Structure 1
């Protein structure tokens, strides 16, 4: 199935494995609050055990060097796409309030990005992430 929208995560390529997983989970967590249509129906197994719903479309994960990540971030914003950010400072905080304060304390051009999530029309997301490679 081909979707009109794309949900993608771009991670800095120098992150440790645990950081990549943590950043990805945090970055995609806000998308359903703004776009509930990205969530499918709840799951159930053959025994009737109920499970939470998940995204109805794939989440594509990419990686790139810091400079390419920053360029993709700027292109996504210029295209009016919705972007979630995770900065290096967030590895030292322990809660949502401190996370928001850490981002708010830094001007946009000085954010030390380690990952972004981008959601929007498929072609615009593709153009924003141009040059990034699929995460291995």
Structure 2
């Protein structure tokens, strides 16, 4: 096997868990928002910039896969609780954020709701692989 194509087993995992009743555009939008914060707490997840044969440079991306899962509202609530109890880096997207128009309004909408009452439609978790696996336990890989 070519060393450039050899599989790499990372010690950490990036996982996104989406509620299974979201529309396609919502799933894509929520996923993009959720993963955007991970490099701010874990800059090591970002690889080097890309460059094509014409010497055009492109932005760097995550150095490891982002695994996307789906589950019920109840599963998201349970996963959220497991992530909080394990003190993992996590981002959340609540149903209220579909009605806001900018970052400050998003943060205010989350701030207005008690932790146990968040109407989660998605979350992203980053941390040690075994802990992230426990957080998303019971979720199916996104289809």
TM-score, length of structure 1 as denominator length:
0.99
Aligned pair partner of 1:49 in 51, 56, 65: 56
Quote the offset at 1:80 in angstroms: 1.3
- 1:115 CA drift (Å): 0.2
| Larger mean Cα displacement after TM superposition, 57-66 or 77-86 | 77-86
Given the alignment, which residue of 92, 96, 108 partners 1:101? 108
Question: Residue 80 of structure 1 is aligned with which of 84, 87, 91?
Answer: 87
Which of the two has higher C-alpha Rg?
2
Shift of 1:82: 1.0
For the residues of structure 2 that align with 1:68 and 1:31, how far apart are their CA atoms?
22
Q: 1:61 maps to what in 2?
A: 68
Distance 1:24 1:75 in 2: 20
Q: Does the aligned pair in 1 maintain the 2:41–2:89 contact within 8 Å? A: no
Which runs of 4 or more aligned residues in structure 1 lie more than 6 Å from their structure 2 counterparts after TM superposition?
none
Counterpart mapping for 1:1-136 below 5 A: 1-136=8-143
Structure 2 distance, partners of 1:108, 1:76, is: 12
Gaps of 5+ in 2: 1-7
RMSD over aligned Cα atoms? 0.4
SS across alignment from 1:90: helix
Q: Structure 1: any 5+ residue segments left out of the alignment?
A: none
Partners of 1:112 and 1:105 lie apart in 2 by 12
